[in-house]
Amino acid sequence: MAPGARRGILDTLKSRRMILAAGLVGALIGASAMALAPGGAVSSDKAAIEKIVRDYILEHPEIIPEAMERLHGKQMAQAVNENRAALETPFKGAWAGAADGDVVLVEFFDYACGYCKASQADVLRLLNEDKKLKVVWREFPVLGDASQEAALVSLAAAETGKYAVFHNKLFDLGRPTDANVKAAQTATGLDPAKVAAAKNNGAYQSEIEKNYDLARTLNMTGTPAFVIGATVLQGAVGYEALKKAIAEARAK
């Protein structure tokens, strides 16, 4: 995907929240008028009821962010449930932990993302502590051509069962420069011919495009982003937030 197209995805996702806010206010007013009408019919004094609700919202604007957050959470939970199989089914060997884990943590990441690198230690700690957890990594290269190239090599590693080694090594080395990617693939023992062919591998390209589509569906605006149970967490939220989301998913 071209850089302009990747930027377009993120810009579209950001604009949705503005549209959601405007629509939510209208929905609140309309729903209130219906609820206050006798017998569920539309009140003959609908305009007066709408004014009462509008005035209340203007006097208590703090209810809008709260309502938006709840609505957003419900929409995300529905979107996650509708796409759960696609989210939690890894590409070949791009996963770690318990094969039949009772909770799956899905991470959308970019090798050029410093916050993804910072979150790597949290994810590895959770894997070490929680033997019932399964982690699925989804390549989401949105930070340029270097990210895209690294993602393709990463998928080649996944197909040969060496994903975790490559993944951890490249994050340890730093940004996905040509030198670092080559050093990581050498340390992993990847076949140079397979790596060279990765750029033209249709299956790898399709996997990345699928991840873009999933991210768009879940309104992800950057990396890292995590899906745990029915919860979507965006950004380097930290070990405690991830652990809490895992516990909540397990309880449900």
Per-residue pLDDT of the chain (252 residues; tens, 9 = 90+): 555 545 554 454 444 444 445 455 555 555 555 555 555 454 557 777 777 777 777 787 777 777 666 666 677 778 899 999 999 999 999 999 999 999 999 999 999 999 999 999 999 999 999 999 999 999 999 999 999 999 999 999 999 999 999 999 999 999 999 999 999 999 999 999 989 999 899 999 999 999 999 999 998 989 999 999 999 999 999 999 999 999 999 998
Of 161, 131, 160, 163, which Cα lies nearest the Cα of 150? Answer: 163
CA distances 224 to 46, 99, 120, 251, Å, are 46, 23, 10, 24
Q: What is the C-alpha separation between 164 and 162, in angstroms, rounded?
A: 6
**252 Cα distance to chain centroid:** 20
Torsion of CA 170, 165, 209, 126, to 10 degrees: -100
User: What is d(CA 136, CA 138) in angstroms, rounded to the nearest whole number?
Assistant: 7
